Amino acid sequence: MTGVDRISVLPDAILVHILSFLSSQTVVTATSTLSTRWRDLWLSVPTVDLDDSLFRLRAKPDRFVPFAYAVLLSRDATQPILNFRLKYRSASVASCDVNFWLKIAIQRKVETVEFSPFFFSHVTLPTAIFTCSRLLVLKLQNLIVDRISTVHLPLLKTLHIDLVRFTNGEYLEIILSGCPNIHHLKIKGLELQQSFIPLGVTFPNLIHVELFVSQCKWIWIVRLLNNSPLLQVLDIGGEKLARPLVLPDPPYPQTVTGCLSSHLRACTMRNFLGYRFDIRFATYVLQNARVLKKMIQNSMEERDKYQILKKISKVPRISATCELLFE
């Protein structure tokens, strides 16, 4: 029917749910020009998505900080902020601003935090973000982390660490040790130290791992497999992926524990260059992962591709249903 506004007659709960998929600036700007039916709905949206990209496109980056304060301080203190996203590339955002905004989100029962500041910003995160008992998802990007004391995230299921520099090599271990229920772990752009997967840390609920790092040693990945009894998906890749491997003699561990015997279903090896260490690890997985459905290998050097495929294809697979895919 022409001229009938069917959207405005929807219940508030549905309208608020629709608005939660938009950035906060889009929500505030769009609803403020509509009828009074829409004008205050943004105050109830459980998602606060602060992104300065629109301000930069309009050559008004300095207006982002006042806008962020207005969005957070205009809301009723009883209204929860379940999802908080903060992304900015403007140098006008100060560390004290970030801390204040994050603290407000934590006080409002936040469950998801996604934080991506200006490239490698030196921001001291509020300690409360690592002891937030309600937090389910934490995604950090482009950060320098210089202070972590206690981490207690009992409900956290998803942890993404992307291009994060730790001033202390033990900080990553502290974070992982404080996330006992993590299901999905993604680490990208991090040069791992020898203590990356501590022998004393297990991941009893970990299902999906993505590791894209430089100078990664296969012995760490084997240790991760052994410490993750429920792991189903392993996705690994990076520069100089397998240099060097230091597996004990004999070449594979005497016992196969963790996820290999009953849970690992997919293994992707990116930037697979066919080094001796790469092939040894692929062989280890193929010979011990009983329920493996597929192993994917890609980015191989074209000149050695045929010989590498020949070697891997000859490896006996303990899983009768395992499929080898080369991309």
Q: What pLDDT sits at residue 236?
A: 87
The per-residue pLDDT for range 115-140, each reduced to its tens digit, is 998 776 777 788 889 999 999 999 99
The per-residue pLDDT for range 189-237, each reduced to its tens digit, is 775 544 454 556 889 999 999 988 766 667 778 888 888 999 999 998 8
**Among residues 284, 315, 287, which one has the least CA distance to residue 221?**
284
Please report whether residue 2 resides in a domain.
no
Please report whether residue 42 resides in a domain.
no
Mean pLDDT of 176-192: 86
SS3 assignment, position 151: coil
Please report whether residue 212 resides in a domain.
yes
Residue-range definition of the domain harbouring residue 311 = 185-327
CB-based contacts of 4: which residues, under 8 Å, 6+ apart?
A: none
Running DSSP on this structure, what letter comes out for residue 197? S
Q: DSSP states of 99-155 as a string?
A: HHHHHHHHHTT--EEEEE-STTB-----GGGGS-TT--EEEEEEEEE--------TT
**Alpha-carbon span 114 to 183, nearest angstrom:** 17
**Alpha-carbon span 90 to 126, nearest angstrom:** 21
**Alpha-carbon span 299 to 293, nearest angstrom:** 21
Q: What pLDDT sits at residue 12?
A: 67
Please report whether residue 24 resides in a domain.
no
Overall domain count for the chain: 1
pLDDT band at residue 241 under the 50/70/90 scheme: very low
Mean of per-residue pLDDT scores for the chain: 80
Burial bucket for residue 315 (CB in 10 Å: 0-12, 13-18, 19+): middle
Which contiguous run of DSSP H or E holds residue 72?
helix 64-74
Please report whether residue 115 resides in a domain.
no
Which residues, in sequence order, are bridge partners of residue 164? 143
**% the chain with pLDDT above 90:** 28
For the chain, what's the residue count? 327
Please report whether residue 18 resides in a domain.
no
Q: Which residue has the higher pLDDT, 242 or 216?
A: 216
Please report whether residue 86 resides in a domain.
no
Please report whether residue 237 resides in a domain.
yes
Q: Find tokens 């430089």 and name the residue.
A: 214
